[in-house]
């Protein structure tokens, strides 16, 4: 019987032999696949059932004073994971002196590569720095790895030596390497033998905490470079770059590290826009939804709110300047009002700020400023013209509204029997009546050039909050 190749004259048709083109990207991908397949770094930890069975076998051996070498190869290879894990509320086996002694005796004689590799992986995965024996276990694992000649041991040893993974202050040393590298974060982790299960382990988490502590310190000192900030932010996110890497464990630490350095600083910072953008993407606007910020220190949330207040007012001023083009009266009004409220903004005494825009201004905000509809409310109803806008402020227990064009300023108290009449900030919709009714104090913007209305309103704010500004601070310069 002739073969297909012989019947075709010794050649197969080209569709049966597709050409294989190897690009640099596909070559790197294939290399990563091979390295991950043979690196000994699993994608998942041993199952709880496997650990439970092995723990039972080890505990029976300890009770019988039998050497651990006799419990079988499978249980010996699982022992590193078992010894660091709690079980049914019981402490890890590593906290038992009899286990530690028996396990050290076994390790001094073993040459089993998987046992040694699993010991290193379990230590990096759990990274139990609180254990009294932690440093001794790191030293023991490093020594065992040095004398292991198996391929997986050698590759892991190269990573350990290159990045000081088993050294004292290993997370500090690893972050120093990671911070200086230009390789994408997850690729660098894989190349450093911290892929698979270790990418979500306690060593990598500890490295992130070190990165955040460094970032916080450098922000306070004004020494952080933009590239360093970007590296830390990239590390804080998972491989897809959309969610926090350790959302449950480091969520609060991320927010506080990025915000607390600015607790006592009202001045602008070059890193503020990037940090604000990052935190809004991960935590949302705390003025509208406080739930994602649960547990974050009030002082840190206050920084974010202060930034958003500043942004709201600055956007509002820019928008009014744009929409008042060709309207000399509106421009004159806002020349003085902007100076007045800018003084309170720069003094750091405006606690909250929100804007409501009528339809024409709404369209301008989206068209000219790219503003999100989530960053302001809609203004409509009787007495509201298409080019109107309103600014709502909170200073202490006072809510104050300012209208564009010739509208009055109005003040409500948030304390007392009529506090429910005050407009609520951060609403999606407002009517003109809501922003005009039953104010405790109001006034027209008369005598702006002489500071007449400015003195009147500033005195009312001072009498009710103790916040004082001199007239010269409230006038245009």
What are the tens digits of pLDDT across the range 73-109?
999 999 999 999 888 888 899 999 999 999 999 998 8
Q: Are 128 and 84 contacting, i.e. CB atoms less than 8 angstroms apart?
A: yes
141 and 211 in a single domain? The answer is no
CA count, 13 A, side-chain hemisphere, 47: 3
Check residues 441 and 18 and name the one with the higher pLDDT.
Answer: 441
- Asked whether residue 278 falls in the same domain as residue 315, the answer is no
465 and 321 in a common domain: yes
Q: Does the structure show a pLDDT above 50 at 5?
A: no
Whether 182 is in a domain gets the answer no
Q: What is the structure's pLDDT at 13?
A: 45
Instruction: Find the mean pLDDT for residues 218-226.
Output: 94
- Per-chain mean pLDDT for the chain: 86
Instruction: Please report the pLDDT score of residue 17 as a whole number.
Output: 39
Which pLDDT score is estimated for 11? 47
Band of residue 163 on the pLDDT scale cut at 50, 70, 90: very high
Which residues, in sequence order, are CB contacts of 183 under 8 Å at separation 6+? 191
SS3 at position 356: strand
Q: Is 134 helix (H, G, I), strand (E, B) or coil?
A: helix
Residue 119 contacts residue 144 (beta carbons within 8 Å): yes
Residue 392 lies in a domain: yes
Q: Which residue has the higher pLDDT, 457 or 311?
A: 457
Identify the pLDDT of residue 369: 53
* 272 and 344 housed in the same domain: no
* Structural domain count, the chain: 3
4 lies in a domain? no
**Domain encompassing residue 271:** 203-283
Q: How much is the pTM? A: 0.82
Q: Are residues 254 and 111 in the same domain?
A: no
- 248 with 214, same domain? yes
Task: Give residue-wise pLDDT tens across range 306-351.
Answer: 999 998 888 888 877 776 666 666 667 778 888 999 999 989 899 9
In this structure, the answer to whether residues 145 and 58 fall within a common structural domain is yes
pLDDT at 264: 85
245 in the same domain as 345: no
The sheet with strand 352-357 has its strands ordered as 429-431, 377-380, 352-357, 389-395, 398-403, 409-413, 441-443
The residue out of 283, 299, 331 marking a domain boundary is 283
Whether 430 and 322 map to the same domain: the answer is yes
pLDDT greater at residue 385 or residue 40: 385
Domain boundary among 249, 283, 317: 283
User: d(Cα 67, Cα 329) in Å, to the nearest integer?
Assistant: 93
End position of a domain, from candidates 283, 298, 331: 283
Does residue 37 lie within any of the structural domains?
no
Residue 386 resides in a domain: yes
In a domain, 362, yes or no: yes
Separation of alpha carbons 28 and 266, rounded Å = 48
- In the chain, helix, strand, coil percent, each to 5? 60, 10, 35
325 and 238 assigned to the same domain: no
Cα–Cα distance between 381 and 430 in angstroms, integer? 8
| Confidence band for 43, pLDDT divided at 50, 70 and 90 | confident
Query: Which three-class secondary structure state does DSSP give residue 355?
Result: strand
Tell whether the model's pLDDT for residue 385 goes beyond 80: no
Locus of tokens 């500890």: 206
Is residue 305 within 8 Å of residue 354, measured between CB atoms?
Answer: no
Whether 222 is in a domain gets the answer yes
The reply to whether 41 falls in a domain is no
Same domain, yes or no, for 348 and 448? Answer: yes
pLDDT above 60: residue 3: no
Question: Alpha carbon of 152 to those of 52, 117, 197, 237, 269: distances in Å?
Answer: 27, 7, 16, 29, 48
Residue 200 phi/psi, 5° resolution?
-115, 15
* Residues 351 and 278 reside in one and the same domain: no
Angle 240-241-246 (CA atoms, 0-180°, nearest 5)?
95
């Amino acid at each position: 019987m002739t073969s297909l190749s012989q019947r075709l004259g010794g050649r197969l048709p080209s569709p049966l032999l597709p050409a294989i083109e190897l690009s640099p990207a596909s070559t790197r991908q294939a290399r990563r696949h091979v390295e991950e397949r043979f690196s000994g770094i699993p994608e998942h930890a041993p199952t709880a059932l496997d650990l439970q069975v092995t723990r039972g076998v080890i505990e029976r051996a300890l009770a019988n004073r039998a050497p651990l070498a006799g419990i079988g190869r499978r249980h010996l290879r699982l022992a590193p994971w078992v010894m660091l894990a709690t079980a049914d509320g019981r402490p890890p086996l590593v906290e038992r002196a009899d286990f530690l002694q028996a396990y050290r005796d076994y390790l001094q004689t073993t040459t089993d590569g998987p046992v040694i590799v699993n010991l290193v992986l379990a230590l990096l995965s759990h990274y139990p720095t609180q254990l009294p024996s932690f440093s001794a276990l790191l030293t023991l694992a490093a020594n065992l790895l040095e004398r292991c000649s198996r391929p997986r041991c050698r590759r892991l040893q190269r990573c350990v030596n290159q990045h000081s993974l088993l050294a004292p202050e290993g997370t500090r040393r690893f972050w120093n390497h990671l911070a200086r590298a230009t390789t994408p974060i997850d690729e660098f982790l894989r190349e450093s033998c911290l892929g698979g299960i270790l990418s979500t382990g306690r060593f990598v988490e500890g490295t992130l905490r070190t990165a955040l502590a460094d970032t916080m310190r450098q922000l306070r000192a004004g020494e952080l470079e933009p590239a360093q900030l970007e590296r830390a932010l990239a590390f804080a996110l998972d491989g897809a770059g959309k969610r926090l890497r350790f959302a449950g464990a480091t969520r609060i630490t991320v927010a506080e590290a990025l915000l607390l350095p600015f607790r006592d600083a009202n001045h602008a910072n070059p890193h503020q826009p990037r940090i604000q953008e990052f935190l809004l993407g991960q935590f949302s606007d705390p003025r509208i939804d406080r739930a994602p910020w649960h547990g974050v220190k009030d002082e840190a949330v206050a920084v974010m709110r202060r930034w958003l207040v500043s942004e709201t007012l600055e956007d509002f001023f820019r928008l009014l300047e744009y929409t008042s083009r060709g309207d000399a009266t509106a421009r004159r009004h806002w020349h003085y009002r902007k100076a007045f409220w800018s003084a309170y903004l720069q003094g750091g005494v405006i606690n909250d700020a929100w804007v409501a825009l009528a339809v024409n201004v709404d369209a301008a905000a989206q068209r000219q400023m790219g503003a999100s509809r989530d960053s302001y409310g809609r203004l409509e109803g009787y007495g509201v013209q298409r080019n109107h806008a309103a600014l709502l402020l909170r200073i202490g227990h006072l809510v104050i509204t300012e209208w564009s064009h010739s509208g009055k300023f109005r003040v409500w108290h948030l304390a007392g029997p009529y506090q429910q009449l005050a407009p609520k900030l951060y609403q999606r919709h407002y009517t003109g009546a809501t922003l005009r009714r039953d104010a405790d104090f109001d006034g027209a913007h008369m005598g702006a050039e002489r500071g007449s209305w400015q003195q009147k309103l500033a005195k009312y704010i001072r009498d009710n909050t103790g916040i004082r500004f001199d007239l010269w601070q409230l006038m245009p310069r």
